[in-house]
Amino acid sequence: MYIYEYPSMNMYRVLSNGTERGFSDLRFDTDGGMIATVGSAPDYLLHIWDWKQENVLLRTKAFSQEVYNVSFSPRFEGTLYTSGTGHVRFWKMASTFTGLKLQGEIGKFGATELSDISSYVELKDGKVLSGTETGTLLVWDGGLVKVEILRAEGQPCHDGQVEVLWFHGEQIMSAGADGMILSWDPAAIDLLEPSDTSPQVVLAPLSEVRVGTVEDKVRIKTMETDPTGELGQWMLLDDGENGGGLWTVDWKNGFQSKKIIDAHSGPVMAIDPSPRGMYVATAGTDGTVRLLDLSTKKQMYMASFPTAATTLQWAPKEVDPEQLTLIVGFGDGVVRMLKEARDGLVLVHVFKPHTMPITCLSFTPTGDMLATGSEDGTIFFMKITKDADGVAKEITPIGFTSHGAVINSLAWCPDASRLLVCVQGDAKVVELKRPVEEELDTSATFEITLESREFVFELKRVIPEKPPPKVFATIHSFP
């Protein structure tokens, strides 16, 4: 973890060996002298740092599964909280005979259904209010669920995961997967008591605000607010099914919401600059394909699909002389051809050559054939038929070859007579002879055998013990 001075941005401190692969969260304590961090898989380590001295004060395993959050208590020194998959945990920095130790108590759900916990907030008397994946709110007291809050009989507070809980003045705000922001009276929450037969209680929120419209399908992932309150705005991150982005909510003036940035709501898997100018096409795991105008820094068009988009490429002028066509691979093995029109991206062709995610696409330099690679270890060849204007009008299957491992990359030779293939896990490149449709018999199966040869490379570098981070996109230069 690197700590920088601001505004000079000079590196100030480096905290090393906090986790094996990546951090999932970090927080300062109330006076800024300590930092708590939690690691992601495979170690899930919790560290308490004296960051100015670059020293580890305490270290322990936080949990055996994903930990989403860590925070210090704002009121009780030496108290921390963590939460994540199926758990919330209450920590104390305790002095023992062998020195300072972290002692963690797992929250016991009791009669309440076990749940992932993405958010929590400490109440003024030390109780903790948390959200659940079913949309209810839980009040924790002494490591046990005291009550489970519903907004009406049988109705949870939110429709889906509660992602945000925090104090706004004297109220508690909750927000989640349903795109709703609710406010609650903490004094009323503190007085809630379970019945003899059930921990569930009913409490009406003080107010409720929908971000955007029902059609926007906003899914609130995180929220931030201006610490001074002068702007009177909340900013929230949306990772909804209509694509993500940033929204603002003007809480000083009628809670009006406005989307200020459109973006993917998950990893960007592919990016390709347009051959026509300052435009970029992107594909993401949220199933959206977007066209961005770099001159205006705005999104022009978006097309949304039910599965993750994993790779894309602009069709060369040999396939589309106007160069308005995108070929996109998806996580379910489907390939879609889209064309840029006046008012959006139009679907013009769909085919399914693979059973697993598409990893790469490659047109022949002459534009008469398309090869696709996949995680299923196959390469599929397709013939492109053009109309009188030289525009692709039909794509028909020729056949496929099997290679037993994920296909990482494809590239045609300049004369389109051979295809170079990189296969995952091997230090080699396979060269395949271009299939000739007239020489193939695909009456029984589309699996074909092509003349091939291999180029094996001897690795001279030392393989690192840790695998390198996964690369999600290819970098291109503009023509």
Radius of gyration of the chain, Cα coordinates, nearest whole angstrom:
27
Kindly tell me if the per-residue pLDDT of 466 is higher than 60: no
pLDDT over 60 (residue 464): no
- Structure confidence at residue 445 (pLDDT): 87
Specify the pLDDT at position 24. 95
**Can you give the pLDDT at residue 479?**
55
Other beta carbons within 10 Å of 301:
19
H-run or E-run covering 188: helix 186-190
Going by pLDDT thresholds of 50, 70 and 90, the confidence category of residue 374 is: very high
**Selecting from 3.40.50.10860, 2.130.10.10, 3.40.50.300, 2.60.40.1250, what CATH number does the domain 268-456 have?**
2.130.10.10
DSSP summary character for residue 335: E
CA distance 282 to 312: 8
At residue 460, the pLDDT reads 67
| Mean pLDDT, range 13-29, rounded to an integer | 95
Contact 348, 335 (CB under 8 A): no
pLDDT band for position 437 (cuts 50, 70, 90): confident
CA distance 270 to 368: 24
The answer to whether 66 and 85 are in contact (CB under 8 A) is: yes
Q: How confident is the model at residue 240 (pLDDT cuts 50, 70, 90)?
A: confident
According to the model, what pLDDT value does residue 463 have?
54
Residue 468 is predicted with a pLDDT of 57
Q: Are strands 55-61 and 67-72 parallel, antiparallel or unpaired?
A: unpaired
Residue 227's pLDDT is 73
Q: Report the alpha-carbon angle 311-276-479, nearest 5.
A: 75
Q: Which residues contact 197 (CB under 8 A, 6 or more apart)?
A: none
Buried-state track 231-266, b at ≥16 Cβ within 10 A, e below 16: eebbebbbbbebbbbebbbebeeeeebeeeebbbbb
Cα three-residue angle 227-138-71, rounded to 5 degrees = 40
Distance CA 255, CA 118 (A): 24
CA atoms within 13 A on the CB side of 186: 20
Specify the 3-state DSSP secondary structure of 379.
strand
CA dist 338 and 380 (Å) reads: 19
Instruction: State the chain's mean pLDDT as an integer.
Output: 91
Number of H helices, E strands in the chain: 1, 39
pLDDT in tens, 376-419: 999 999 999 888 877 777 888 999 999 988 999 999 999 999 99
CB atoms within 10 A of CB 270: 22
What number is the average pLDDT over the span 284-303? 92
**Strands, sheet with 392-402, edge to edge from the N-terminal-most edge strand:** 358-363, 369-374, 378-386, 392-402
State how far the Cα of 170 lies from the Cα of 180, in Å rounded to an integer.
19
Backbone angles phi, psi at 461, to 5 degrees: -85, 165
Residue range 98-153, pLDDT digits in tens: 888 999 999 999 999 999 999 999 999 999 999 999 999 999 999 999 999 999 98
Q: Give 421's contacts (C-beta < 8 A, 6+ positions apart).
A: 373, 379, 403, 407, 409, 410, 429, 430, 431, 432
pLDDT above 70 coverage of the chain, percent: 95
Contact 213, 247 (CB under 8 A): no
Q: Residue 440: what residue type?
A: L
Per-residue pLDDT tens over the stretch 52-91 = 999 999 999 999 999 999 999 999 999 999 999 999 999 9
User: Do 272 and 473 form a contact (C-beta atoms < 8 A)?
Assistant: no
Q: Identify the pLDDT of residue 474.
A: 56
Q: How confident is the model at residue 389, as a pLDDT? A: 78
pTM of the complete model? 0.77
